[in-house]
Homo-oligomer: A and B are copies of this chain.
């Protein structure tokens, strides 16, 4: 007997076959499958921690930084949180089968547009092993199969997590082939995913700008781009000082390492003297380094001179660029030049400025008088987040379960033909 063939394409085919089975399950069946996964994670915590320890050891040996090691780490507490997240996803409303629209044609044919699963969702991501479970749970909740390609740094952890999920599915009579990994094929696995037209219905890259760029450029499979956030806050001459200060500080320091944190503040010249000293003081008290232009430097102390590069940088750290502009037009021009289309906000009480900003800024989320940190699936009330789309096709802004579905048209007639 020859050994079974096992390559990325074979696994994707198994996922495609499994997707048909998953699509036939009821919403209740799928919720129960997720409960089984949550239980499996809790019961096999030791196994996960042990595998994770080998990843952490190898990481330390290779000299990866503390921040990356922290993202890689799975301890007992994080596994409890991961299981809880899976149970939360199990309880989300099921988008599949939702009737989106429909009408009766003049000839009597009844037309209905309904939500259906994509089929097979591919995901390419980096160090954080919790993404393995998170995205598989979201895919299964929306009746999709999933093919995972995680970062090599988390290989041992991901192998155990995928094994636990597959065992849990099999334990409740659901095909384990609905959760596949191509981690063990290295770069070939990622390449196969990107070229798998007809097997992978949509590919979601999650991670660094470089990873996303590679996937968008090389993939022939449709991609949902979850992009970087070079996020701006504009302060105009009518901005209340307290709102301006609180929003800028919150948008920068509440969690500086994420994509919805502000990176550049643009202050209208007429507001500069009134607002900049107090805001820089407040930022300084939170340990933020302000990279400012000459006007900012003249109004506050401790300013690092800003260069062209600062306007284009997504710091993801306690650094902030600050620039004084002559007008709202100049602020809008700056945003057009440097924004990544994620989130921009203005602080103003002038309704004309608010309306222009909302209309003219071409970003996924445009905010008046609130923190940019609200761009988030959880904050938007989606219950979970697949990522934040910065492209305009299919999904824009925070993506929930619905964004992991497509639609199809059903037509029911009684012998009608076209005249």
**Footprint of B on A, CB under 8 Å?**
20, 23-24, 103, 105, 109, 111, 113, 116, 118-119, 197, 201-202, 216-217, 220, 222-224, 240, 242-243, 246-247, 249-251, 254, 354, 358-360, 362-371, 373-375, 379-381, 391-394, 396-397, 406-418
Q: State whether A224 and B393 are in contact (beta carbons under 8 Å apart), knowing that A247-B417, A418-B374 are contacts in the complex.
A: yes
Flag if A374 contacts B105 (CB, 8 Å): yes
Q: State whether A410 and B358 are in contact (beta carbons under 8 Å apart), knowing that A417-B246, A417-B250 are contacts in the complex.
A: yes
Partner of A418, one of B197, B242, B379: B379
Flag if A222 contacts B391 (CB, 8 Å): yes
Q: Pull 11 A–B residue pairs with CB atoms less than 8 Å apart, ordered by A.
A: A105-B374, A216-B220, A222-B393, A364-B408, A365-B408, A369-B415, A371-B416, A392-B406, A393-B393, A396-B409, A397-B409
Output the nearest chain B residue to A347 by Cβ-Cβ distance. B415
Flag if A222 contacts B392 (CB, 8 Å): yes
Oligomer copy total: 2
Q: State whether A20 and B360 are in contact (beta carbons under 8 Å apart), knowing that A220-B217, A366-B409 are contacts in the complex.
A: yes
Other A-B contacts than A369-B414, A375-B409, 12 sampled, CB-CB below 8 A, are A24-B359, A201-B393, A217-B220, A222-B392, A247-B417, A251-B417, A254-B417, A365-B410, A367-B412, A370-B411, A374-B418, A396-B409
Flag if A105 contacts B418 (CB, 8 Å): no
Flag if B246 contacts A392 (CB, 8 Å): no
Minimal beta-carbon separation of A221 from chain B (angstroms):
9
Flag if A373 contacts B250 (CB, 8 Å): no
A242–B23 Cα distance when bound, in Å, is: 34
Minimal beta-carbon separation of A114 from chain B (angstroms):
9
Going nearest first, the 4 A-B pairs with the smallest beta carbon separation are A370-B413, A250-B417, A392-B406, A243-B415
Minimal beta-carbon separation of A338 from chain B (angstroms):
12
Flag if A394 contacts B396 (CB, 8 Å): no
Q: State whether A411 and B366 are in contact (beta carbons under 8 Å apart), knowing that A374-B109, A392-B201 are contacts in the complex.
A: yes
Q: State whether A416 and B220 are in contact (beta carbons under 8 Å apart), knowing that A202-B393, A363-B408, A394-B393 are contacts in the complex.
A: no
A10–B368 Cα distance when bound, in Å, is: 34
- Please name all residues of chain B whose beta carbon is closer than 8 Å to the beta carbon of A380 when the two chains form the complex: 105, 111, 409
- Please name all residues of chain B whose beta carbon is closer than 8 Å to the beta carbon of A354 when the two chains form the complex: 412
Most interface-central of A113, A368, A411 (chain B CB within 10 A) = A411
Q: State whether A368 and B411 are in contact (beta carbons under 8 Å apart), knowing that A380-B111, A406-B393, A406-B396 are contacts in the complex.
A: yes
Minimal beta-carbon separation of A25 from chain B (angstroms):
12
A247–B415 Cα distance when bound, in Å, is: 7
A360–B408 Cα distance when bound, in Å, is: 11
Flag if A369 contacts B412 (CB, 8 Å): yes
A411–B222 Cα distance when bound, in Å, is: 29
A410–B414 Cα distance when bound, in Å, is: 45
A223–B219 Cα distance when bound, in Å, is: 12
Minimal beta-carbon separation of A109 from chain B (angstroms):
5
Most interface-central of A23, A249, A416 (chain B CB within 10 A) = A416
- Please name all residues of chain B whose beta carbon is closer than 8 Å to the beta carbon of A364 when the two chains form the complex: 408-409
Minimal beta-carbon separation of A197 from chain B (angstroms):
7
Q: State whether A369 and B105 are in contact (beta carbons under 8 Å apart), knowing that A202-B392, A418-B254 are contacts in the complex.
A: no
Most interface-central of A24, A406, A408 (chain B CB within 10 A) = A408
Minimal beta-carbon separation of A5 from chain B (angstroms):
20
- Please name all residues of chain B whose beta carbon is closer than 8 Å to the beta carbon of A368 when the two chains form the complex: 410-413
